[in-house]
A = this chain, B = another copy of it.
Amino acid sequence: MRPSGRALDELRPVSIEVGVTRHAEGSCLIRMGDTHVLCTATIEDKPPPFLKNTGLGWVTAEYGMLPRATNTRMRREAAAGKQSGRTQEIQRLIGRALRAGVDRSALGERQIVIDCDVIQADGGTRCASITGGWVALRLAVNRLLKAGSITSDPILDHVCAVSCGIYAGQPVADLDYAEDSVAGTDGNFVLTGRGRLIEVQMSAEGATFSRDEMSALLDLSDAAAKTLLAAQAEAVGS
């Protein structure tokens, strides 16, 4: 029934390749089927100004898409002179999600910037950015621990994300673009390694949904998270 022939709860093939760029303190290329996102982590020695002298650190994210990551070329945001509302909404979500898995006190007064750049898009780029962004963050923090810059691990738990939605009347996991563009209701679910929730964003445009449908999608996301967590664990070697 799904355009890709996948089962309702079947994710696209997930791969997370680490160490893909020589400059960043942590990096990975995450592939969820044809969605490919390059995630890098940059450690900055200073926290943002509003955290000066608080003892707390910060994790933030920026998101971008290459102009031809999509089927039709999109205008380059740098040339347009601003980031779209969609871009800002996504990067705020990624930052918020990753911060929820970090003890900012243990991180100390520094900032880690996660850049998520979509090389190729086929739906689910914000969720892939969160799942891959966590890997880049984990690798950067490992480097801080190894260097003795921090002594206790500020990473509280894994953070991963998946989109699920109602496609052709059925709840399905990990929407690709063909599904996403016609789904009446879809949601993004951010979860921890222990199965707790960090963010739930369900949205219907030109439709509505019931609590039962919401539950079905939450169930799907819960199952999907197990696959994503395993891929993360394998990527970071733990």
Whether the pair A23, B78 counts as a contact (CB closer than 8 A) is no
Q: Which of A27, A62, A199, A208 has the most CB of B within 10 A?
A: A208
Q: Which of A78, A82, A87, A120 has the most CB of B within 10 A?
A: A78
Whether the pair A68, B24 counts as a contact (CB closer than 8 A) is yes
Partner of A199, one of B38, B62, B203, B210: B203
Partner of A204, one of B68, B83, B100, B205: B100
Bound-state Cα–Cα, A89 to B201, Å: 13
Shortest Cβ distance from A104 into chain B, in angstroms? 7
Q: Which of A40, A66, A86 has the most CB of B within 10 A?
A: A66
Shortest Cβ distance from A200 into chain B, in angstroms? 4
From A111-119, A126-134, A142-150, A168-176, the one touching the partner chain is: A111-119
Whether the pair A67, B115 counts as a contact (CB closer than 8 A) is yes
Shortest Cβ distance from A43 into chain B, in angstroms? 9
Indicate if A13 sits at the interface (CB-CB under 8 A): no
Shortest Cβ distance from A173 into chain B, in angstroms? 17
Indicate if A6 sits at the interface (CB-CB under 8 A): no
Give residues 52-87 of A contacting B (CB, 8 Å). 62, 64, 66-71, 73, 76-83, 85-87
Partner of A115, one of B27, B76, B214: B76
Whether the pair A100, B205 counts as a contact (CB closer than 8 A) is yes
Indicate if A198 sits at the interface (CB-CB under 8 A): yes
Partner of A205, one of B42, B76, B96: B96
Bound-state Cα–Cα, A70 to B71, Å: 28
Shortest Cβ distance from A164 into chain B, in angstroms? 13
Listed by A's residue number, 12 A-B pairs whose Cβ atoms lie within 8 Å are A24-B68, A40-B66, A67-B115, A68-B115, A81-B82, A85-B89, A89-B92, A100-B204, A187-B200, A194-B208, A197-B214, A200-B202
Q: Besides A78-B87, A86-B92, A100-B205, 14 other CB < 8 A contacts?
A: A23-B70, A40-B66, A40-B68, A44-B73, A64-B78, A89-B89, A96-B205, A100-B207, A157-B208, A187-B200, A196-B209, A199-B202, A199-B204, A200-B203
